Amino acid sequence: EDQVTQSPEALRLQEGESSSLNCSYTVSGLRGLFWYRQDPGKGPEFLFTLYSAGEEKEKERLKATLTKKESFLHITAPKPEDSATYLCAVQRRDSGYSTLTFGKGTMLLVSP
């Protein structure tokens, strides 16, 4: 059974204080690891897809990296508008379907 564990559950940062969110996973053949951002009362917003160990992707203050067992979402000099819940999900390879298995998320609060 595929499993995704995110840590910490919640993180409070001061504006400009960089940090990282962790996503550990077990899956029988990874096709892709996905990061989403979710604001309260809204659907998840797609951020990144990572396909192979060593891959990195960046978008504004966010950088996602992938190893064979975990992924990190690095947030550099965060701003209050980065406050949201960040979700990690895995997709199994060669399954014939797109199903995502999600972690429970990290709730990030950035204070001015």
Partner 1 sequence: KAGVTQTPRYLIKTRGQQVTLSCSPISGHRSVSWYQQTPGQGLQFLFEYFSETQRNKGNFPGRFSGRQFSNSRSEMNVSTLELGDSALYLCASSVLLGNEQFFGPGTRLTVL
Per CB under 8 A, residues contacting partner 1 are 31-32, 34, 36, 41-46, 49, 87, 89, 91, 95-105
Residue in the block written with tokens 């972690």: 103
Structure tokens at 98: 């797109």
Shortest reach from residue 36's CB to partner 1, in Å = 8
- Closer of 26 and 111 to partner 1 (Cβ): 26
List, in order, residues 6 or more apart from 60 with CB less than 8 Å away. Answer: none
Shortest reach from residue 18's CB to partner 1, in Å = 26
Shortest reach from residue 49's CB to partner 1, in Å = 6
* Residue among 8, 6, 85 at smallest CA distance from 41: 85
